Amino acid sequence: MDHLIDIPEYRVDEGLRFAWDEGFEIEIRVRPTEVIIKANRAGLTSLARHLLTLAQQGVHAGSHVHLTADQEIESDVDLILERADDDYFSAN
């Protein structure tokens, strides 16, 4: 069975809304040459939803979700998912 992801619609007057799947677990490990994101199905679906929420039309560059170490994620570091301007990477 396919798993559909419901994405909270972005509304300027309400701002960004992020939703988590029940039972999500996410672990992040940072090594000198790699970052490992390990998650159960609910955690992966939640991260996908967060990224799709940020990718919606009308969401401004700099908008982000901040995942805090030992709160939303198991990690020694925080994880920030941030929206960039569409031309950001070609300009740098």
Residue 14 belongs to some domain of the structure:
no
> Rounded to whole angstroms, how far apart are CA atoms 91 and 29?
30
Closest residue by Cα to residue 39 from 68, 7, 73, 8: 73
pLDDT value for 2:
60
Please compute the mean of the pLDDT values over residues 58-78 and round it to a whole number: 95
Residue 20 belongs to some domain of the structure:
no
Structural domain for 54, as ranges: 26-91
If one counts the domains in the chain, the total is 1
With cut-offs at 50, 70 and 90, classify the pLDDT of residue 1: very low
Residue 9 belongs to some domain of the structure:
no
> At residue 54, does pLDDT exceed 70?
yes
The enclosing H or E element of 35 equals strand 34-39
Residue 77 belongs to some domain of the structure:
yes
Determine what percent of the chain is predicted with pLDDT higher than 70.
97
Three-state SS for 48?
helix
User: CB–CB of 35/70 below 8 Å?
Assistant: no
Residue 7 belongs to some domain of the structure:
no
With cut-offs at 50, 70 and 90, classify the pLDDT of residue 12: confident
* pTM for this predicted structure: 0.86
